[in-house]
């Protein structure tokens, strides 16, 4: 299968610190590709580098046949790449509806159908439709943040820890929504919740200290206690599940 996104040998510095020192991954269309790794492994920095906030030297980022390395963030977004950062910026004083309308591209003539689609994907937003974003629960805020990126119909979606701090019920719902999206977009997902990662991921890349140390199909990774222990330090409990 041809890759939609190819990332080769990224080296990214922040100030004088070498944060990425050889990150590579290959993402196929209509798959969910999960980035795993311990805290500080470089997952967020990888997404930020792909999105053009940081410049890799050396390193190559290719989207379809377009080289993105060194291109400004707004141009990368115009190629159809959407980014939901961990600390997403919603307008706290604006309602759910207003936040979504502001995120719609100006030229979009299908406002109603796009909004309706987001509400089908995240029914929890219906009940909060007229409430300011600042009053939403953590789970509702994550859903609104995801919907705000999705209304521009990205071909590639970069999502940073959408399940962070959420109750199991909301983690399930976010997982359901991401799974549904697979048929219309491609997702690179940074996720610390291994249960969610293995439930919805097709492929996995593991980072450690700024390097890619493992890439492969999620099914094989999820089935191997040995791989999880070696690359994530996960212990196996008595029932055979990673914890």
Ligand X SMILES: Nc1ncnc2c1ncn2[C@@H]1O[C@H](COP(=O)(O)OP(=O)(O)OP(=O)(O)O)[C@@H](O)[C@H]1O
Binding site for ligand X (CB under 6 A): 14-15, 17, 19, 37, 39-45, 192
CB 131 within 8 A of CB 95: yes
Q: Which is nearer to ligand X, 27 or 54 (by Cβ)?
A: 54
- Nearer Cβ to ligand X (12/95): 12
Which of these, 139, 199, 152, 192, lies nearest to 175 by C-alpha position? Answer: 199
CA distance 213 to 206: 6
The DSSP output letter for 217 is: E
CB of 129 to ligand X, least distance (A): 32
Minimum CB separation of residue 114 from ligand X in Å reads 30
CB of 164 to ligand X, least distance (A): 9
Query: In this complex, which beta carbon is closest to ligand X, that of residue 20 or of residue 68?
Result: 20
Contact criterion met (CB below 8 Å) for 22 and 78: no
- Min dist CB 117 to ligand X, Å, is 30
Q: Give the span between the Cα atoms of 137 and 199, in whole angstroms.
A: 24
DSSP state of 241: -
Instruction: Convert 223-236 into a string of H (helix), E (strand) and C (coil).
Output: HCHHHHHHHHCCCE
Closest to ligand X by CB, 12 vs 103, is: 12
> Please, which residue, 124 or 191, has the CB nearer to ligand X?
191
Smallest gap from Cβ 153 to ligand X, in A, equals 26
Bridge partners (DSSP) listed for residue 6? 26, 62
């Amino acid at each position: 299968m041809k890759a939609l996104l190819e990332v080769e040998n990224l080296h990214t510095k922040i100030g004088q610190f070498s944060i990425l020192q050889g990150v590579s991954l290959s993402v196929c269309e209509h798959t969910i590709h999960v980035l795993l790794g311990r805290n500080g492994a470089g997952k967020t920095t990888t997404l930020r580098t792909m999105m053009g906030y940081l410049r890799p030297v050396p390193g190559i980022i290719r989207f379809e046949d377009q080289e993105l390395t060194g291109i400004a963030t707004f141009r990368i977004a115009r190629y159809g790449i959407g980014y939901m950062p961990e600390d997403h910026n919603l307008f706290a004083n604006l309602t759910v509806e207003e936040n979504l309308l502001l995120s719609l591209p100006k030229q979009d003539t299908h406002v109603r159908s796009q909004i309706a689609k987001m509400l089908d994907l995240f029914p929890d937003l219906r009940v909060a439709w007229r409430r300011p974003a600042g009053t939403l629960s953590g789970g509702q805020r994550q859903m609104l943040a995801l919907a705000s990126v999705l209304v521009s119909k990205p071909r590639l979606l970069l999502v940073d820890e959408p399940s962070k701090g959420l109750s199991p019920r909301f983690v399930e719902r976010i997982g359901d929504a991401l799974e549904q999206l697979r048929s219309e977009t491609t997702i690179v997902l940074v996720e610390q919740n291994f249960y969610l990662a293995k439930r919805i991921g097709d492929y996995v890349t593991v980072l450690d200290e700024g390097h890619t140390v493992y890439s492969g199909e999620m099914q094989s990774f999820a089935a191997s206690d040995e791989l999880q222990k070696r690359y994530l330090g996960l212990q196996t409990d008595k029932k055979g599940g990673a914890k």
